[in-house]
Amino acid sequence: MIDLHLHLDGSMRPSTVRELLYGQGIADWKDEAEARAALCAPDDCGSLNEYLKCFDYPCRVLQEYDNITRAVRELGEDIAGQDITYAEIRFAPLLSTEGGLSQNDAVEAAIEGAKQAERECGNLRLGLILCCMRGFSHEVNLETVEAARKYLGGYVCALDLAGAEALYATELYEDEFRLARRYGIPFTIHAGEAAGPESIWKALEFGASRIGHGIRCIDDGALIDYLERYEIPLEVCPTSNMQTKASGNAGEYPIKELLQSGVRITLNTDNMTVSNTDIYNERNLVKTRFNITDEEIKLMEAYSAEAAFLKQ
């Protein structure tokens, strides 16, 4: 199995976050269950902005080289246990610079964690996607682009733009992706999750080869046709999409309609801890609630293999 849209900070083991926070004197959760409750999105989560608050604690511990390495290694171990053989783990190195690390330090720590996971898990290959962040300065985001250029090839495989899409429009980040194009760095962009089709159109104008989430394309028939014609994959994450209210209530989730329209839907977890999910849960969800067939599961897996930034 394949997971193309998997955030490091949203998928850390609650036990690890608890241990590291306790060591810093920040949180004193009595057990792993209490830690998990603090790190998971609430049942009544109302928006992407509320969902993003769950990342505060993991980001506090991803400020040390060894912690980043450990988090990536453990995530690799966890997904290998789900029969995932290829995954692209994404994270924002600019969010790991509060304790003195440079963005390059953070990337090197993540690369080391990916190497360790692959050695320990055998039949596992990992790519790393570096996220520019909405709401941050062009200066620090351009540092992320430079880091991607420096480390592109071995484990770093692409760039992304993540964060509060409704507050910071995709169009504000043209400089970052103009530079990425100049360097020949492939990229995906979170778009069409908390904003509408215009966000997806802008990401495509920038040159995104994949779209993170993209579920709001359902509101624009011309966009659906474009995605189908030019074979642009969507990195769909059903559980988190419903938690962030990306497409209304669960009964309106358009995964079946998009697949039948020829859009290249890939199925992913997004944030295993924050959304309390894994790849098995995502498959079961779309089969039982949205009438996705086993053949359509195979089709989405084939789309994922074709869309991978590191070709297998």
- Residues marked as catalytic: 193
Cα separation, 120 vs 267, in Å, equals 26
Q: Nearest-CA neighbor of 263 among 308, 205, 214?
A: 214
The encoded tokens of residue 60 equal 């506090």
Beta strands in the chain (DSSP E): 2-7, 86-91, 125-133, 156-162, 188-191, 210-213, 234-236, 265-267
Cα separation, 194 vs 221, in Å, equals 19
SS (H, E, C) 200-239: HHHHHHHCCCEEEECHHHHHCHHHHHHHHHCCCCEEECHH
Q: Phi/psi at 14 (nearest 5 deg)?
A: -55, -35
Cα separation, 145 vs 143, in Å, equals 5
Residue 69 half-sphere exposure, CB side, CA atoms within 13 Å? 9
